[in-house]
Structure 1
Amino acid sequence: MPPELREKAILEAAIGLARESGIAVLTVRTIAAAAGVTPALVAHYRPGMDAFVAEVFGAIVAAEREEVMASSPAVVGARARIAAIVDTLLDGDRDDVTLVWVQAWAAGARNDELGARVRLEMDAWQAALEELVAGGVAAGEIAPAHAQGAAWLLLAMVDGMNAHSLVKWAPDDRAGLARRALAAVLG
């Protein structure tokens, strides 16, 4: 197999493994087993596991953000689009990505490269939501006084409810609760 395809296969195997079991299971040996190669080959292509774990995390969560943000443009109006994003993020179909996030927050405290990537991806989510809120302000749907901090509150609410759901401790209608809370924040 050509080197670029081998490297891609190793990355894809690591992404699949992380989506299945979280980033905490990513080791040279587990990735090698998932890719069907020797641990030495993984170490050859990815000599720094901290950087590789950060790359795998980034690939997973950036793909989710792109997918979620791209799925809502057909929805008319900033409020309706934000509600659609909340529904998507809290529908329970993304527990694999939630586990990756939760483990990355914890491991990022000791893995500087992962911590930097977590901050980068959190900033990207925050910026995307700020843009939606700003669009709502510009369209007169959201009062400027209510816009400040709305994206942060939305992220905190979604992240918290999703993290709670991993241990089966979340309201049955968490998307509805989040929409009601967001409506109160946005005025």
Structure 2
Amino acid sequence: MLSRAAPKRVRKTPEARRAEIVAAASALALTEGLECVTLRRVADELAVRPGLISHYFPAVEDLVAEAFGAAATAELDDLIPADRPAGSPLEHLARFFVLTTGAGYDGVSRLWLNAWHLSRYRPALRERVDRQETLWRERLAGLVRDGVEAGVFQARDPDVTARRILVVLDGLGSHANTDRSDRPPEVTHLAVVIAERELDLPEGSLVARVTAAHVPRPARDEGAPCAR
């Protein structure tokens, strides 16, 4: 009987291996927190030796920053794609608010809260947080600017409008770890109301769109807190 040769192992390219490491770290950041992104924990997730992770990220702080950046960028690409598909600026803005309302967005809110806190002590993460804040603001301001050019929105300064909307969303997101069962709709949709005023939209028109289209995304499963 002929023996069957063992399958040949395919060595991953450095680019593919690095992307795999960042993806695993990003998933940990979202589900368990940035504190859980360690060389050993990511190695365990990928069933490799910690030395392989340190080969690509000698400083764990760089991996933490990369994990946050990857997770935050992926979420932004879902909320406001860089290359938006067909649809009016108003439709895209309504979709943005649909997706940022409810428990499905809580995981990202927790990630940002986590990053803001840790960035006080971690320069690499602080630099990445600053970069991500700019990216989110520019992406939303670009959507507002397109709406102004199309005659759908009115805004003297799209950048300022984007900042005001994001400040309200951040404020609402700061309660992601608390019970919000008694939160009235007027508070849940506060950022939408602010957008209506900033963009000179008819009162209640954007809120009505968001409410009618709202299908909450399922919340991400969160693992147990990692061992400190």
1:98-177 aligned at under 5 Å gives the runs 98-145=109-156, 147=158, 149-169=160-180, 171=183, 173=185, 175-177=188-190
1:7 aligns with 2:7: no
Q: How many residues align?
A: 186
Tell me which structure has the larger Cα radius of gyration.
Answer: 2
Kept after mapping to 2: 8 A contact 1:86/1:175: no
Q: 1:20 — aligned with what?
A: 31
C-alpha change, 1:10 and 1:137, in structure 2 (3 Å) is closer
Select 1:37's aligned residue among 45, 48, 51: 48
Greater helix share, 1 or 2? Answer: 1
Q: Which runs of 5+ in 2 are unaligned?
A: 1-10, 201-228
RMSD of Structure 2 on Structure 1 (CA)? 2.4
CA deviation after TM superposition for structure 1 residue 121, in Å: 1.0
CA contact (8 A) 1:147 1:186 kept: no
Per the alignment, residue 54 of structure 1 pairs with 65
Structure with higher RCO (Cα < 8 A, 6+ apart): 2
- Among candidates 176, 180, 186, match of residue 193 of structure 2: 180
Are 1:72 and 1:84, in contact at CA under 8 Å, matched by a contact in 2?
no
* Mapped contact 1:22–1:96 kept (Cα < 8 A): no
**Residue 189 of structure 2: SS of its match in structure 1?**
helix
The one-character-per-residue Cα deviations of 1:122-141 (angstroms, maximum 9, x if unpaired) are 11111111111112222222
CA shift at 1:52, angstroms? 1.1
TM-score, structure 2 as length reference: 0.72
- Could you state the TM-score of these two structures normalised by the residue count of structure 1? 0.85
